[in-house]
Amino acid sequence: MTLTPIRDLLTTALKRANVSTQVNATQVVTKANEEIARILPHEQNSDARAVSLRDNILTIESSHSSTAQYLSEHEFQILNNLKNEFPTQKIIKVRYRISKIIDATV
C-alpha cells in the first residue's frame, strides 16, 4: 500500500469541489497585500489593501487618492512580484477604488 502525498490529495479535493480558482485568488490577494505593506511607508500601511481578484483584475482599495496614486506608480513592481510568485496567474489590470473605511481585519 502506497501513501499519497497530502499535496496531491488537496489538489484533487480542490478541483473536485471546484474552489481552486477562489483559493488561488485568495493567495494572490494575500501576496498583493504583503507587497502593498512593503511598498507603502510604515505610517500608511493601513491606508490601502487588495480586496479581490476577479476576471483577472486585481482591485486595490484605498482610503486616500494620494495613496492610490502612489501605489499606481509602483504597479509594475507589484504585478511583477505577483507574477514571480504565481506564474500561471494572469492579471490584466489593477483597479483602484477609494473607500472611506478600510477595515484591515477583513
Tell me the per-residue pLDDT of 52-106, one tens digit each, with 9 for 90 and over.
999 999 999 999 999 999 999 999 999 999 999 999 899 999 999 998 765 555 4
| pTM of the complete model | 0.77
Instruction: Identify residue 52 by its one-letter amino acid code.
Output: S
Within a domain: residue 3? no
pLDDT given for residue 2 in this prediction: 77
What's residue 40's pLDDT? 93
Kindly state whether residue 13 falls inside one of the protein's structural domains.
Answer: no
Question: Is 51 domain-assigned?
Answer: yes
The DSSP secondary-structure symbol of 85 reads H
Q: Provide the grid cell at 90.
A: 494572469
Residue 58 lies in a domain: yes
Which one-letter DSSP state was computed for residue 43? G
Q: Looking at the domain assignment, is residue 61 inside a domain?
A: yes
The answer for residues whose C-beta is within 8 angstroms of residue 34's C-beta and 6 or more apart is none
Considering only residues 68 and 10, tell me which one the structure prediction assigns the higher pLDDT.
Answer: 68
Q: What is the CATH number of the domain that holds 62?
A: 3.30.300.180
Inside any domain, residue 30: yes
What pLDDT shows up at residue 18? 61
Number of domains in the chain: 1
How many residues in the chain?
106
Q: Which domain holds residue 44?
A: 20-98
Residue 56 lies in a domain: yes
Beta carbons within 8 Å of 83's beta carbon, 6+ residues apart: 89, 91
